[in-house]
Structures are given as C-alpha cells and as structure tokens.
Amino acid sequence: MSEKSKKSSMRSGLPWLWLTLVALVVDQLTKYWTVQALALHESYEILSFFNFTYARNYGAAFSFLGDAGGWQKYLFSGIAFLVSAYLLYSMKKTSATQPWLNCSYALILSGAIGNVMDRLMFGYVVDFLDFDLGFYRWPTFNVADIAIFIGAAMMIIDSLFWAEKREKSKQNEEKKDNNNDE
C-alpha cells in the first residue's frame, strides 16, 4: 500500500460533522420559527395537502409513549445520547473515502441531537410538518426526523449494495499487502 493511500484510508469521517451542524441549525431554526409564529395546534396551509402545524410530541416516533407520564423523556434522551456516541465513534472509525456512509451517520446524528435538545429544553419535541392526503393524515414531524429518515435510508442502501463490495476490496488489499511483505 502506498504512503498516500495509507494516509487517506486513515483519515476519519469526522470532517462530515459539518453536515451534522448544518442540519442541526436548520432543524432548530425551523422549530424556533414554528414556536414564534404559530400557537399550539395552529395550522398554516401551504398546499391543499401540506400544512405547517405546531404540535408537541411527548413520545418518540408517531408519538409512541407520548402519554406515559414524563419518564419517557429520560428514556428517549438516554437512547439519543447512546446512539450519538455510537455514531461519533463510527464516524471516527470510518474512512473519509466512504462519504455515503459518513453522510448517513452525520444526518442521523443531527436528528438525534436536534430532538434530544427539544426534549431536554422543553420536555417534548416540536413538530410542524403536517401532511393530510384526505384519506390519510401522516403524523406531524420535523427537520430532525427527515435527517434521521434520510440517514437511515442511506445506511440501509449502503448495507444492501456496497458493504459487501467494500469488505471484499479490503480483503483483496490485505492479501496484496501480505504478498508484498513476503
């Protein structure tokens, strides 16, 4: 392995934290705007099927455990801290030459941090994106939820299509290095 390729493979995915910061700022600014511009449950129609509606989510996804009495705030915050630590560790261990995977980690991290900030500051998550198709109303969500969804989808796509190729490439590279050492 050449010295240049050794250095590039050693660089971590931590530089992708810029994406975490950008998505987190967008998330927090949109939530701030929502709280300032709308009263609780007030709705502003954007399109016939899409509204900005200020809602509070005391639970997790789809308000899971939303009426559990308050203890869930600590559970979900703890989970978010553990997931965030794991994602930071994963970004540190993942090569900078894998932007797709690092981007997925960065997006999920921003969503986890954005929602845990709400939980710790307010005791609930501010949601405002509201889709009502007439026959089905999707649960209200926010930018952090979008970041988590996109990041998770990217991670799934990576595991389905590229993880095996990456592992084979790594094994071939190790074989070449072992043959060169002999």
Q: pLDDT tens, 75-95?
A: 778 888 999 999 999 999 999
The C-alpha angle with vertex 102 and arms to 4 and 145, in degrees rounded to 5, equals: 170
Q: How far apart are CA 39 and CA 29, in angstroms?
A: 17
Contact 144, 110 (CB under 8 A): yes
36-67 pLDDT, tens digit each: 999 999 999 999 999 999 999 886 665 555 45
Return averaged pLDDT per consecutive 10 residues of the chain, 182 residues in all. Answer: 48 95 98 97 95 88 55 75 94 92 97 94 93 92 97 95 75 64 60
List, in order, residues 6 or more apart from 158 with CB less than 8 Å away: 100, 101, 104
How is the beta sheet containing 125-131 ordered, strand by strand? Answer: 43-47, 50-57, 125-131
| Closest of 76, 84, 78, 72 to residue 110, by C-alpha | 84
Q: How far apart are CA 18 and CA 62, in angstroms?
A: 29
Give CA 131 to chain center in angstroms.
21
Total-model pTM? 0.81
Task: Give the type of residue at 160.
Answer: L
Cα-Cα end-to-end distance for the chain: 14
Q: How far apart are CA 83 and CA 7, in angstroms?
A: 28
Per 3-state DSSP, what percentage of the chain is helix, strand, and coil (rounded to 5)? 65, 15, 20
Provide the annotated active-site residues: 127, 145
Q: How far apart are CA 55 and CA 41, in angstroms?
A: 6
